[in-house]
Amino acid sequence: MSKAHDTLFRTLADPTRRAIFERLCREGEKTVGALTARAGVSQPVVSKHLGILKQAGLVRDRPDGRQTHYSAQLGALAPLIDWTSQMAGYWETKFDHLEDLLKRMDQ
Amino acid sequence: MTDAATETRSVVVEREIAYPPEKLWRALTQPHLMEEWLMKNDFKPDVGHRFNLRGDWGGVLDCEVLAVEQNRTLSYTWDFKHDDAAYDLKSVVTFTLTPTSKGTHLRMEQSGFRPTQKQALGGAHAGWKQFFDKLDQVVASEG
């Protein structure tokens, strides 16, 4: 699996981050403030998630005066529609569970 | 990702695990531990043993142990019968464990997918299904 795939899967594996991204997909461009209002987490947390989404190429920011508007970059998702990537994503999720289990086995 | 000679593809997922191979091996081969991270199963680490993996989504995978090298390599078939050839899956999953200074390098290769495969089993039915359905719609609407 390419590093780009790895980044995409890791970025979207977080439920809060995914929710922010899905909302941008559904509702279009939003400011941090607007996203925070319904994210269930604080503004700094939303900003942090947006930073990670931006690094992965999944969102773009557009400064407008004192506000910054964020929008989803759907083209970045194209590799994920490929089934081999789906399977890789499946195993990434399974490996997350495996690591959780290994932690519990320690105790 | 493509092997032209056999017309099949493979998926490789690798991860650095912060635990020694011996411990990881237990999680990969003991049925009650496998159930916690993978699926319900009747696995035994014996070459030739046939077993099933049963997903929460109701699907059953037919598996046969192909290779067991304790703390190093585990390989089994990962087949899913489906009337529609496009969804029928015959594949082989191989886990390779390599000790590192910090724990274990875990490599999983799943091979045998045909290029015509429409859907990746598990990925499509587990937690990712809904997610990818949404992505499909989103990307489709993007044109």
pLDDT digits (tens, 9 = 90+) for A7-63: 888 888 888 999 999 899 888 899 999 999 887 889 999 999 999 999 999 999 999
- Residue ranges making up the domain that contains A15: 3-106
Is pLDDT above 70 for A76? Answer: yes
ipTM: 0.72
pLDDT at B121 over 50: no
Q: Confirm or reject contact between B38 and chain A (CB < 8 A).
A: yes
B83 touches chain A (CB under 8 A): no
- Provide CB contacts within 8 A for B109, sequence distance 6+: B10, B11, B12, B93, B94, B96
pLDDT digits (tens, 9 = 90+) for B66-93: 999 999 999 999 988 877 665 677 889 9
Q: Which residue has the tokens 């992505």?
A: B135
Q: What part of B 84-143 touches A (C-beta under 8 Å)? A: 106, 108, 110, 113, 117-124, 126-128, 131-132, 134-136, 138-139, 142
pTM to 2 decimal places: 0.57
For B3-13, the pLDDT digits (tens) are 444 456 778 88
- On whether the B2-118 domain is CATH 3.30.70.890, my answer is no
CATH number of the domain enclosing A80? 1.10.10.10
- Rounded CA-CA distance B129/B39 in Å is 17
- For CA atoms A6, B22, B112, B55, give the dihedral sign: negative
Q: Which residue would you say has higher pLDDT here, A5 or B3?
A: A5
pLDDT greater than 70 at residue B114: no
Number of domains in chain A: 1
The stretch B59-67 carries a mean pLDDT of 92
Average pLDDT in the B39-60 region? 90
The domain ranges of chain B are 2-118
